[in-house]
Amino acid sequence: MPSSVMPTPRLGDGPQSSAAVSAVGLRKSYGDKTVLDGIDLRIPAGSVFALLGPNGAGKTTAVRILSTLIDADGGQAQVAGHDIATSPDGVRAAIGVTGQFSAVDGLITGEENMLLMADLHHLSRREGRRTAAELLQRFDLVDAAKKPASTYSGGMKRRLDIAMTLVGNPRIIFLDEPTTGLDPRSRHTMWQIIRELVADGVTVFLTTQYLEEADRLADRIAVLNDGRIAAEGTAEELKRLVPGGHIRLRFSDPSAYRSAALALHEVTLPHSALRRGGTPIDEALSLQIPSDGTQRELRSILDWLDAAGIEADELTVHTTDLDDVFFALTGGTDKPKEAVR
Ligand SMILES: Nc1ncnc2c1ncn2[C@@H]1O[C@H](COP(=O)(O)OP(=O)(O)OP(=O)(O)O)[C@@H](O)[C@H]1O
Ligand SMILES: [Mg+2]
């Protein structure tokens, strides 16, 4: 579905909670390339907000503007109640930023990196040592604390990065792709860290390439495409925007597959899903039948398959996931590999 025909839904926006971040009409261009073409955001305090978008969509640019690292060309934004243009120091005092690329200095130890941050935040020597020790403990870096950070694994560096961000006890943190390149265990550790931050009342603004991450962590998700927010809402709300549910039949016998594909193509039953047509995907000997995933529709599809003598080796029910949303909203019409829907 082309994004141009999608409305820009702002679903279930509750005015009741105060906004940690709000933006109206944010714009940014580099030369004649428009990166952000009027972005509106409202992130309630104490929530997790995920900004999704393909490479180059402008996620980092948005983070850099909101964290006052660069200026917007137009629009307005308040972060922690401070205007980014007129009160950047107020913004900086309230936020922490973990950039897409690590701010860790590899030449010094993890502990020294922490103490450097404590200095930057003007903590006393004693307070700095206490904060560093506490955070190194919390992020499971005590054993590595005296080793040069260049010897840390990617996951350890990322944990140190976030620990450094927390030195100033920020109420709002920006995490630009916090789990890119991490293995599944490290990713889960990072999710746990983020959940604990939120439980402490911190607002988290994260960008991610991992839709599952947004799905699991974020209270609200915005999809950035072509410089605009293509859609915004909870994961469930976004999934409802895009039809993607289907039943998938997989065959091991090519001739069984072919006759099933033929039967599906010829079907003229008054059943809505079957009328919409099954789709063969040759290389995997699979067929897809659009389905809303309800028990009723599943039963009638099964009845029809029985009546038509189609017996698949495997039947799986797929509900819409954020991948479907992402591909629908960011220009691609389909998921790669699952070519046709
Ligand atoms: N300093 C700069 N000068 C010129 N162009 C820039 C600059 N910074 C970013 N851009 C361009 O702006 C666009 C958005 O970049 P940005 O880094 O915000 O994307 P992103 O969504 O974070 O991508 P990724 O997922 O790859 O991190 C890109 O086309 C990028 O080349
Ligand atoms: Mg980026």
HEC profile of the chain:
CCHHHCCCCECCCCCCCCEEEEEEEEEEEECCEEEEEEEEEEEECCCEEEEECCCCCCHHHHHHHHCCCCCCCEEEEEECCEECCCCHHHHHHHEEEECCCCCCCCCCEHHHHHHHHHHHCCCCHHHHHHHHHHHHHHCCCCCCCCCEHHHCCHHHHHHHHHHHHCCCCCCEEEEECCCCCCCHHHHHHHHHHHHHHHHCCCEEEEEECCHHHHHHHCCEEEEEECCEEEEEECHHHHHHHCCCCEEEEECCCHHHHHHHHHHHHHCCCCCHHHHHCCEEEHHHCEEEEECCCCHHHHHHHHHHHHHCCCCCCEEEEECCCHHHHHHHHCCCCCCCCCCCC
* Structure confidence at residue 271 (pLDDT): 43
Share of the chain above pLDDT 90, in %: 52
**What does the pLDDT average to over 204-223?**
92
The response to whether residue 159 sits with its C-beta less than 6 Å from ligand 1 reads no
* Structure confidence at residue 217 (pLDDT): 93
- Distance between CA 52 and CA 210 in Å, rounded? 8
Least confident of 22-26, 40-44, 106-110, 188-192: 188-192
The response to whether residue 53 sits with its C-beta less than 6 Å from ligand 1 reads yes
* Structure confidence at residue 257 (pLDDT): 86
Decide which of 133 and 292 is more confident.
133
* Structure confidence at residue 281 (pLDDT): 52
Instruction: Specify the residue with its C-alpha closest to ligand 1, atom 18.
Output: 58
**What's the gap in Å between 61 CA and the centre of ligand 1?**
6
Confidence class for position 267, pLDDT limits 50, 70, 90:
low
Whether residue 134 is predicted with pLDDT greater than 60 in this model: the reply is: yes
- Quick one: 295 exposed, middle or buried, by C-beta within 10 A (0-12, 13-18, 19+)? exposed
Whether residue 220 is predicted with pLDDT greater than 80 in this model: the reply is: yes
**What's the gap in Å between 142 CA and the centre of ligand 1?**
36
* Structure confidence at residue 223 (pLDDT): 93
Instruction: Specify the residue with its C-alpha closest to ligand 1, atom 27.
Output: 55
**What's the gap in Å between 243 CA and the centre of ligand 1?**
31
* Structure confidence at residue 3 (pLDDT): 40
* Structure confidence at residue 269 (pLDDT): 38
Question: Please, what's the b/e burial string for 188-211 (b: 16 or more CB within 10 A of its CB; e: otherwise)?
Answer: ebbbebbeebbeeebbbbbbbebb
* Structure confidence at residue 184 (pLDDT): 87
The response to whether residue 30 sits with its C-beta less than 6 Å from ligand 1 reads yes
Average pLDDT in the chain: 85
Give the CA radius of gyration of the chain. Answer: 24
- Strand 95-98 to 172-176 pairing: parallel
- Distance between CA 160 and CA 154 in Å, rounded? 10
Confidence class for position 11, pLDDT limits 50, 70, 90:
very low
Ligand 1 pocket test, candidate residues 37, 59, 101, most atoms within 8 A of CB: 59
Confidence class for position 129, pLDDT limits 50, 70, 90:
very high
**What's the gap in Å between 123 CA and the centre of ligand 2?**
31
Residue 192 neighbours by CB under 8 Å, 6+ apart: none
Q: Biggest alpha carbon distance in the chain? A: 78
Ligand number, closest to the Cα atom of 209: 1
Q: How many CB atoms lie within 10 A of CB 113?
A: 27
Decide which of 99 and 147 is more confident.
147
Confidence class for position 100, pLDDT limits 50, 70, 90:
confident
Q: What is the pTM of this model?
A: 0.79
The response to whether residue 180 sits with its C-beta less than 6 Å from ligand 1 reads no
Whether residue 273 is predicted with pLDDT greater than 60 in this model: the reply is: no
